Amino acid sequence: MSSKIVLGKNQYGKAENRVVKITRDTDRHEIEDLNVTSQLRGDFSAAHFEGDNGRVVPTDTQKNTVYAFARDGIGSPEEFLLRLAKHFTSEFDWVTGGRWEAEQYAWERIIANGKEHDHSFVRKGQEVRNAVVVREGDSTYVISGLSDLTVLKSTQSGFEGYPKDKYTTLQETSDRILATAVSARWRYNNDAVAEGRIDYNAAYESVKALLLEGFSEQYSKALQETLYQMAQKVLDAHPEIDELRFSTPNKHHFVVDLSPFGLDNPNEVFFAADRPYGLIEANFERDLISDPGNAWDGIAGFC
Ligand SMILES: O=c1[nH]c(=O)c2[nH]c(=O)[nH]c2[nH]1
């Protein structure tokens, strides 16, 4: 005979709904980026003891509600969560409470050519700078780099003209979000290293600024093309750099279909997926470069 048990504390919902809201009333876009968890509390004993889902507001519905509410803007995470709390507790009378939590990711406008950009953003918190020095015989190699420089443009990006087969479902678009966390490494010319004429701190700041400008300035036909635009800027401005290598996840943002809730969605509310992600990697180098020796050995994830 099984022993009698009672139901202790319980709550349930959808965790980590990644919602990005772009406000595009004017050409100067605003971005709000949240990770929202919604969990309901109340009397759910029938669900646990009898398999009766009559009171179980699906976690899927909770997720949809988060995205639908984002259509009107987020305001502040606190206000957004208060709206959700009020909604669930007033809409379903057996929902007596719940727990709603959000993380907000802060973005700043990219400064391109001295001006705040209208629709290109860099995530606050910033990148990790890195450096590698390799000495082989008489040669000294210096590779500098950065990782996790997270950037997003809310328009001026598309993806079209790709081959289609029976497995292709992706729709062509000329207006999508393009977002990535840039990992880039650049190798300095051996002679410049040997002559000791590189100000590594100044070069770092300049390369970072040029990468951001390259990301922002032009329409992107693909992340691949944007990497080229970024590399071109750096190699034009820095003759002491011979090559650049990129590893960039394409952080997909999918337009949420809000039509089932009677709402339009003109590219304003997005589901920010974390995986799978596109992984775009490319090296760019000058025509004639100094021999890199084995300087790149041990740097993971680069071609
Ligand atoms: O910028 C992109 N490059 C791709 O190679 C690719 N593939 C894909 O499905 N979407 C995208 N986007």
Maximum Cα–Cα distance for the chain, whole Å?
85
Tell me how many degrees the CA angle 135-138-142 measures, rounded to the nearest 5.
Answer: 40
What is the rounded (10 degree) CA torsion for 286, 291, 297, 300? 0
pLDDT at position 298 is 86
Reported as a pLDDT band with limits 50, 70 and 90, residue 266 is very high
Q: How far apart are CA 236 and CA 241, in angstroms?
A: 9
Task: Check 37, 59, 61, 140 and give the catalytic one.
Answer: 59
Reported as a pLDDT band with limits 50, 70 and 90, residue 197 is confident
Ligand 1: centre distance to CA 159 (Å):
7
Query: Is the pLDDT score of 303 beyond 60?
Result: no
What is the rounded (10 degree) CA torsion for 163, 167, 172, 178? -100
Pocket of ligand 1 (CB under 6 A): 159, 170, 222-224, 250, 278, 280
User: What number is the average pLDDT over the span 179-196?
Assistant: 95
Ligand 1: centre distance to CA 58 (Å):
33
Query: Is the pLDDT score of 288 beyond 80?
Result: no
The tokens for 164 are 């289609």
Please give the single-letter amino acid code of residue 179: A
User: What number is the average pLDDT over the span 34-57?
Assistant: 97
Instruction: Look over the chain and give the mean of its residue pLDDT values, rounded to a whole number.
Output: 95
Break the chain into its structural domains and give their ranges: 13-104, 110-285
User: What number is the average pLDDT over the span 212-230?
Assistant: 98
Q: What CATH number was assigned to the domain covering residues 110-285?
A: 3.10.270.10
Task: Indicate if 14 belongs to the active site.
Answer: yes
Q: How far apart are CA 299 and CA 173, in angstroms?
A: 35
**250 marked as binding residue:** yes
Task: Indicate if 166 belongs to the active site.
Answer: no
User: What number is the average pLDDT over the span 51-78?
Assistant: 97
Q: Please, which residues have CB within 8 angstroms of residue 77's CB and are 6 or more apart in sequence? A: 34, 102, 103, 104
Residue-wise pLDDT for 127-157, tens only, equals: 998 999 898 888 889 999 999 999 999 999 9
The tokens for 281 are 């990697």
Query: Is the pLDDT score of 302 beyond 70?
Result: no
Please give the single-letter amino acid code of residue 290: S
Please give the single-letter amino acid code of residue 73: G
Tell me how many degrees the CA angle 95-97-101 measures, rounded to the nearest 5.
Answer: 120
Q: How many beta carbons lie within 10 A of that of residue 269, not counting itself?
A: 27
Query: Is the pLDDT score of 177 beyond 80?
Result: yes
Reported as a pLDDT band with limits 50, 70 and 90, residue 284 is very high
Is residue 271 within 8 A of residue 253, CB to CB? The reply is yes
**Ligand 1 pocket test target in 156, 160, 162, 251 with most atoms within 8 Å of CB:** 162
Task: Indicate if 87 belongs to the active site.
Answer: no
Residue-wise pLDDT for 83-119, tens only, equals: 999 999 999 999 999 999 999 999 999 999 999 999 9
Reported as a pLDDT band with limits 50, 70 and 90, residue 301 is low
Q: Which atom of ligand 1 is nearest to the CA of 220?
A: 1
- Nearest CA residue ID for atom 12, ligand 1: 222
Residue with tokens 């039509």: 259
Rg (CA), the chain: 25
pLDDT at position 1 is 77
Q: How far apart are CA 241 and CA 145, in angstroms?
A: 12
